[in-house]
Amino acid sequence: MFRTRNVRTIATTALTFLWGMSLALAGQAPDASAGGGEVALATAAASTAGASSTDPVLSGYVEVEKIRLVLLPTKVEDRKGRVIEGLTANDFQLMEDYIPQKIQFVSVESDAPVSIAFMLDVSGSMRISGKLDAAKEAIRYFLDGLRPQDRFALIAFADEQVAWITEFTNDRERFLQRLMVQTGYGQTALNDAVAAAPGLVQAGTDGRKAILLITDGVDNASRTSLDQAIELARRASVPIYTVGFSSLPRDLLPMKEELATNFSVLTRFSDETGGSLFAVHDPDELKEAVVRIDEELRHQYLIGYVPSRTLWNGSYRRIQLVTRKSRYQVHTRTGYYATP
């Protein structure tokens, strides 16, 4: 009996140590903080001489299951759109498929490096009214606010092509050279781009990641359906910030069904992945949109919790995150896949 207690104590101590270390690292973990992925925190083992091979505790090896930590990059605003800072775990309420969850930690992500993938629509319609030129200038403006440790990439899409123009880099001059030579052609394959880009981004870099999608069009060339694109974007766990051009005045926008549908699609891309939608009505507003996106990225919370359900069967689990003060609006991804 003494030996059993001793081994269990060793295993518990090891797990406690690894758990503490994992939580300490989780706020800094590059892969985890990127898109709010799921992280296996720890395994623990203990051995003892002369243990019985039939006793799971005394067999010479004690294995502790992996602990899955779900990470949620989160933005909190008041009703006027102002960022709310200084919140703690006690200020939030979290449920997973309507089951209350305990928040393990809340950290602030303002100082962590970020990798931004600019996903640029280069279809023919972007040449109209200077939209493509305005998009290029807005991206250049965004780069001016990045820090030396931040990285950026360019993905262009038109017709059935989704292409890396530059992979992640901090070489601003080379990036801008490749950006400025992009020209508009073909149709808009928006769903194909959203389906492909998050996977490219996830594989292309570590650390916090986000996609900034700039487009003006309704999808008219994709082979991928809207639902398929959203599912693939969810699995990559990379937030998508969408900027949609409208050539109509603000008061006429609701009257144009096609454009209204387009903004509905862009809203889904953003909401499902934890990003935001910005509708711009002229090129000058594009800079304002990228400033807001930069502000959101710099004032994110990273919220971590261990799901109460231990069965990881690949199902999609819905997340509901709110603040105890109902006047605040919380933006995070809508869920995650419980991948085994």
Packing angle, helices 190-204 and 226-236, rounded to 10: 10
How many beta carbons lie within 10 A of that of residue 204, not counting itself?
Answer: 17
Contact assessment for residue 160 and residue 223, using Cβ atoms and an 8 Å cutoff: yes
- Measured torsion, CA atoms of residues 273, 275, 279, 285, in degrees rounded to the nearest 10: -150
The separation between CA 30 and the C-alpha centre of its own chain, rounded to angstroms, equals: 12
pLDDT in tens, the chain (340 residues): 433 333 333 333 333 334 443 444 444 433 443 345 666 655 444 444 444 444 444 344 444 457 789 999 999 999 988 899 999 999 999 999 999 999 999 998 777 889 999 999 999 989 887 889 999 999 999 999 899 999 999 999 998 889 999 999 999 999 999 999 999 999 999 999 999 988 888 777 777 889 999 998 778 889 999 999 999 998 888 899 999 887 544 554 444 545 555 788 899 999 999 999 998 877 778 888 888 898 888 888 999 999 999 899 999 999 999 999 888 999 999 999 998 8
Encoding tokens for residue 109? 């992500």
Contact assessment for residue 122 and residue 180, using Cβ atoms and an 8 Å cutoff: no
CATH number, domain 114-298: 3.40.50.410
- Could you give the residue range(s) of every CATH 3.40.50.410 domain in the chain? 114-298
Contact assessment for residue 187 and residue 220, using Cβ atoms and an 8 Å cutoff: yes
End-to-end CA distance of the chain: 35
Alpha-carbon distance 212 to 139, whole Å? 9
Q: Is 76 helix (H, G, I), strand (E, B) or coil?
A: strand
Q: Is the pTM of this model over 0.85?
A: no
Phi, psi of 134 (to 5 degrees): -65, -40
